[in-house]
Amino acid sequence: MPGFFCEQKEGEKRGKLAKKMTAEDKNGMIAANVNSFTKKKPAEECEKSGDNCSTKSRREKAHQAGMEKGGRTMTREEAHTILMKYMEGENYILHSYAVEAIMRGLAKRLDPDSVEKWGIAGLLHDLDEEQCDWRNDMKVHGPTSVEILKKEGVEDQELFDAICAHNPKCGVKAKTPIQYALLAADPMSGFVKAVAQIYPDKKIASVKPKSVLKRFNEMRFAAGANRDYMEAIEFTGLRLEDLVDVALEEMGAISDTLGL
């Protein structure tokens, strides 16, 4: 969601960030994610070589599902390239990485075969942040991202619906786990960051789940973070406490990248 902890500083450019993300992240989460796609052997090759490709059938199934829906699966690398093309503000990009990380963590618990897809939904959910006038018309936030993705040749209705549903003001209400997850992960990423900033070292490693939950109930704290959206995680079967655990763990894993 634009506007919350997403303020862009003048002159902040993507170059620094792109460089940061292509460098080896200490924790390697995102780099590993890219590599897992680019370095996988094609399925046929696995069969020929007799390799035990445990993820082979899962990936094929996911790919097939995408094709059946009339779309094509997008890699994380492709998604990141699109993000870099349309987003320049460092804070926006870092927010995208944080939501991506939380979405991957939630998918591990809720839909383990779709970790990449959920991550990509997180990564691209604010793609139109700097591409439309959402400050004057919130209805355009979400649908504009879909237009951009279509222009880029992406056809993935599940991804499009999740991106739109993260902004109920565009008229799309969340109905599925990925949609509720994105609705909840978006404000939670900023909320966790706000809690970290209370601590002297401003580090996510200092934040305890209990502290996040305590601040959650203080309505004046980070008042812009929509509590209802965060609580929507419960429609997936997870509890708010689970969302907090996932956010701390997954954002903590890329804390160097996030600068937290």
Angle subtended by helix axes 157-165 and 115-124, to nearest 10? 50
Nearest Cα neighbor of 89 from 15, 149, 165 is 15
Nearer to Fe ion, 33 or 226 (CB): 226
Q: Which stretch binds Fe ion (CB under 5 A): 153-161, 179-187, 206-214, 234-242?
A: 179-187
Q: Which stretch binds Fe ion (CB under 5 A): 14-22, 184-192, 196-204, 228-236?
A: 184-192
Residue of the chain from 1, 178, 192, 196 that contacts Fe ion (CB under 5 A): 1
| 126 contributes a contact to Fe ion by CB under 5 A | yes
Residue located via tokens 């383990």: 112
Contacts of 133 (CB under 8 A, 6+ apart): 140
CB of 126 to Fe ion, least distance (A): 4
Q: Which stretch binds Fe ion (CB under 5 A): 15-23, 103-111, 124-132, 137-145?
A: 124-132
Q: Which stretch binds Fe ion (CB under 5 A): 82-90, 120-128, 137-145, 156-164?
A: 120-128
| 98 contributes a contact to Fe ion by CB under 5 A | no
Length of the chain: 260
Burial tier of 235 (Cβ tally within 10 Å: 0-12, 13-18, 19+)? middle
Contacts of 181 (CB under 8 A, 6+ apart): 103, 106, 107, 110, 118, 233, 236
Nearer to Fe ion, 30 or 53 (CB): 30
| 25 contributes a contact to Fe ion by CB under 5 A | no
Size of the site for Fe ion (CB under 5 A): 3
Identify residues 27-66 at the interface with Fe ion (CB under 5 A).
Answer: none
Nearer to Fe ion, 184 or 212 (CB): 184
Nearer to Fe ion, 53 or 126 (CB): 126
Nearer to Fe ion, 99 or 207 (CB): 99
CA distance linking residue 119 with residue 248, whole number of Å: 16
The tokens describing 149, both together, are 């993705």
Nearer to Fe ion, 129 or 158 (CB): 129
Q: Which stretch binds Fe ion (CB under 5 A): 28-36, 125-133, 199-207, 229-237?
A: 125-133
- Gyration radius of the chain over CA positions: 18
Nearer to Fe ion, 113 or 133 (CB): 133
DSSP secondary structure string for all residues of 93-136: HHHHHHHHHHHHHHHHHH-GGGHHHHHHHHHHTTTTTTTS-TTT
Angle subtended by helix axes 115-124 and 76-86, to nearest 10? 0
| 186 contributes a contact to Fe ion by CB under 5 A | yes
| 116 contributes a contact to Fe ion by CB under 5 A | no
Q: For binding to Fe ion (CB under 5 A), which residues are involved?
A: 1, 126, 186
